[in-house]
């Protein structure tokens, strides 16, 4: 970022004196600019790149002290050296330094003294600027790291990484990484204010070692965005494990300082976030596969009944939950169960599997729904004392439509019959809680009516109450499609958000 001679603005109304100062500084290797009064000096500072100001104390339009204060107010990082042949006593020197000057030279001035003072002041300010730049970049790096780890999915992570790199270095940036499924994507932005975009990109990873390496490439090798003309690109490649593909952070070389410390830390932060996202995606995939493998593979074919189910796992940005359902014929009756294990994780999915098998086992023994729930509850309290779950279990006689239902804290069933809606409420404690339970509820499902069971993912919203969700469900369910599968799908489309934050299970039973 640094390079070339420093530019010094010499401000003095005396032509011969100004000539001498400019001559000494030019021979010392500085680039010089000139101004004859305070107004011209301030205009130069505003318009030109000025690294140092050598300022006479006495000027025709204003004092050098005042000019110094104005320069410091406009650009605090510009050092000022006062020079004077008249204001040379202690009071003048003290006033000059107090009002913002970084050094005060009384004439006669020796060339070596002026040049040495200029170098000393510039060394301090350049070190200060480097420290301020590093602090600014580290603060932006911290913000970018938080945004990456908060990203709900891999694409958002890449967008956050690219946007963070652009803000840190105030330049175009690209971040390339491989998803859990092996797709190589690049997050690209043309600058700190531009929105990032995601594009497919492939990289030859041959020979890339574990760790972080930095190299300089030609822009054509990373033709992802419009890089600055005449500049190369600096690439930080980070690889955490031998079995993982490396990732790359690409920025213009002109933005980098010696040893590229912030770029290296950014690449390591992106690698850490990507690894966490890959691990999460892997766990989510395992949990969803486990859930689907444990749910019924097919629905029973029962004379006089239409059956349909829908199960939608939470979107990839959230952990998987423990929703489940069951439909099976036992001794001429249809057993229907639906439940939701508290929590969202692979562990919740495994608890769900244990509960489903327990419900099936106790139902096969011939117990009514309430007894099934009592026994499952005792099993949970004994073997899974830290777990909670909601569940609704019912037995349906296909011929008469008689239903015997028991619930444990689950949402009320819904009956839709010729445009009329009725919620079947059966209040009882959750599974995992030792408390008295009410007797089973018995009612008849009329011919032509549809019974709907569901989990909270269908109706719960972060911006709405549960009562509002129930009302929305009732409004949608007043009309039941002739095709019951289509009805369940319509419920998901009209009620579930575009990105499902919780598992959704729906079971519909229509009595012909």
Residue with tokens 């004077």: 84
Cα(262)–Cα(138) distance, rounded to whole angstroms?
A: 7
Which CATH number applies to 7-130: 3.30.450.90, 3.40.50.2300, 3.40.50.2000, 3.30.70.240?
A: 3.40.50.2300
Q: Which pairing describes strands 247-252 and 173-178: parallel, antiparallel, or unpaired?
A: antiparallel
Beta bridge partners, 216, equal: 234
What's the whole-model pTM score?
0.62
86-92, Cβ contacts within 8 angstroms, sequence gap of 24 or more: 86/57, 86/58, 87/57, 87/58, 92/57
271-276, Cβ contacts within 8 angstroms, sequence gap of 24 or more: 271/212, 271/238, 271/239, 271/240, 271/247, 272/240, 273/145, 273/148, 273/149, 273/151, 273/157, 273/161, 274/154, 274/157, 274/177, 274/247, 275/240, 275/241, 275/244, 276/149
Q: Which pLDDT tens digit goes with each residue over 395-450? A: 999 999 999 999 999 999 999 999 999 999 998 999 999 899 999 999 999 999 99
Alpha-carbon torsion, ordered 342, 458, 507, 370, to 10 deg: 40
Which percentage of the chain shows pLDDT scores above 90?
A: 75
Q: Computed from CA positions of residues 382, 384, 386, 387, in that sequence, does the dihedral angle turn out positive or negative?
A: negative
Range(s) for CATH 3.30.450 in the chain?
A: 151-270
- pLDDT of the residue at 317: 45
Alpha-carbon torsion, ordered 257, 138, 125, 29, to 10 deg: 10
Range(s) for CATH 3.40.50.2300 in the chain?
A: 7-130
- Cβ(28)–Cβ(8) below 8 Å: no
- Cβ(236)–Cβ(268) below 8 Å: no
Please state which CATH number belongs to domain 151-270: 3.30.450
- pLDDT of the residue at 1: 41
Q: Which pLDDT tens digit goes with each residue over 297-312? A: 789 999 999 999 998 8
- Cβ(485)–Cβ(437) below 8 Å: no
Per DSSP, the residues of 312-334 read EPPPTTS---EEEEEEEEETTEE
344-361 exposure pattern, b = at least 16 Cβ within 10 A, e = fewer: bbbebbebbbbbbebbee
Residue 304: CB partners within 8 Å, gap ≥ 6? 398, 399, 511, 512
Cα(207)–Cα(204) distance, rounded to whole angstroms?
A: 9
Please state which CATH number belongs to domain 295-511: 3.60.40.10
Q: In 3D, which of 235, 222, 234, 237 has the Cα closest to residue 268?
A: 237
Q: Which pLDDT tens digit goes with each residue over 80-99? A: 999 998 877 888 889 999 99
Question: Cα-atom radius of gyration of the chain, to the nearest Å?
Answer: 37
Cα(199)–Cα(201) distance, rounded to whole angstroms?
A: 6
Residue 205: CB partners within 8 Å, gap ≥ 6? 245, 246
Residue 242 CA, chain-centre distance (Å), reads 26
204-237 exposure pattern, b = at least 16 Cβ within 10 A, e = fewer: eeeeeeeebebeeeebeebebbebeeeebbbbbb
Beta bridge partners, 404, equal: 395, 442
The token duo for 16 is: 């011969």
- Regions of the chain with pLDDT less than 50: 1, 317-319
- pLDDT of the residue at 146: 96
- pLDDT of the residue at 491: 95
């Amino acid at each position: 970022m640094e390079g070339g001679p420093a530019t010094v603005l010499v401000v003095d109304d005396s032509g011969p004196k100004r000539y001498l100062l400019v001559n000494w500084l030019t021979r010392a290797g500085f680039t010089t600019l000139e101004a004859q009064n305070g107004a011209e000096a301030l205009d130069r500072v505003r318009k030109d790149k000025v690294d140092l100001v050598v300022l006479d104390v006495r000027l025709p339009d204003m004092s050098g002290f005042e000019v110094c204060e104005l320069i410091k107010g406009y650009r605090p990082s510009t050092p000022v050296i006062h020079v004077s042949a008249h204001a040379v006593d202690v009071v003048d020197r003290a006033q000059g330094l107090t009002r913002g000057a970084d050094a005060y030279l009384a004439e006669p001035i020796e060339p070596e003294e002026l040049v040495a003072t200029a170098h000393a002041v510039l060394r301090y300010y350049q070190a200060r600027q480097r420290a301020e730049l590093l602090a600014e970049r580290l603060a932006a790096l911290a913000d970018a790291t938080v945004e990456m780890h908060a990203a709900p999915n891999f694409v958002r992570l890449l967008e956050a990484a690219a946007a963070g790199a652009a803000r840190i270095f105030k330049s175009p940036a690209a971040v390339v990484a491989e998803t859990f499924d092996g797709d190589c994507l690049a997050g690209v932005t043309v600058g700190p204010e531009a929105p990032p975009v995601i594009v497919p990109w492939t990289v030859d990873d041959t020979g890339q070692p574990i760790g972080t390496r930095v190299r300089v490439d030609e822009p054509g090798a990373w033709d992802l965005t419009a890089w600055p003309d005449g500049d190369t690109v600096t690439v930080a490649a980070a690889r955490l494990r031998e079995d993982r593909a490396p990732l790359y952070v690409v920025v213009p070389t002109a933005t980098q300082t010696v040893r590229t410390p912030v770029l290296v830390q950014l690449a390591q932060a992106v690698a850490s976030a990507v690894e966490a996202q890959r691990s999460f995606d892997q766990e989510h995939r395992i949990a969803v596969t486990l859930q689907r493998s444990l749910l019924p593979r097919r629905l029973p074919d029962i004379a006089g009944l239409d059956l349909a189910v829908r199960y939608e796992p939470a979107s990839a940005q959230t952990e998987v939950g423990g929703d489940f359902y069951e439909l099976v014929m036992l001794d001429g009756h249809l057993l229907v169960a639906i439940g939701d294990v508290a929590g969202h994780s692979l562990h919740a999915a495994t608890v769900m599997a244990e509960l489903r098998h327990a419900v099936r086992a106790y139902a096969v023994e011939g117990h009514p729904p309430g007894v099934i729930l009592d026994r499952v509850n005792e099993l949970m309290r004994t073997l899974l004392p830290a777990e909670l779950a909601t569940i609704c279990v019912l037995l349906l006689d296909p011929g008469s439509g008689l239903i015997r239902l028991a619930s444990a804290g689950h949402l009320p069933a819904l009956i839709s019959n010729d445009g009329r809606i009725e919620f079947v409420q059966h209040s009882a404690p959750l599974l995992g809680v030792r408390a008295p339970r009410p007797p089973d509820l018995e009612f008849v499902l009329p011919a032509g009516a549809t019974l709907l069971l569901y989990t909270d993912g269908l109706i719960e919203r972060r911006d709405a109450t549960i009562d509002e969700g129930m009302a929305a469900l009732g409004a949608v369910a007043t009309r039941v499609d002739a095709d019951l599968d289509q009805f369940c799908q319509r419920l998901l489309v009209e009620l579930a958000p575009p990105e499902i934050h919780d598992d959704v299970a729906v079971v519909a039973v229509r009595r012909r």
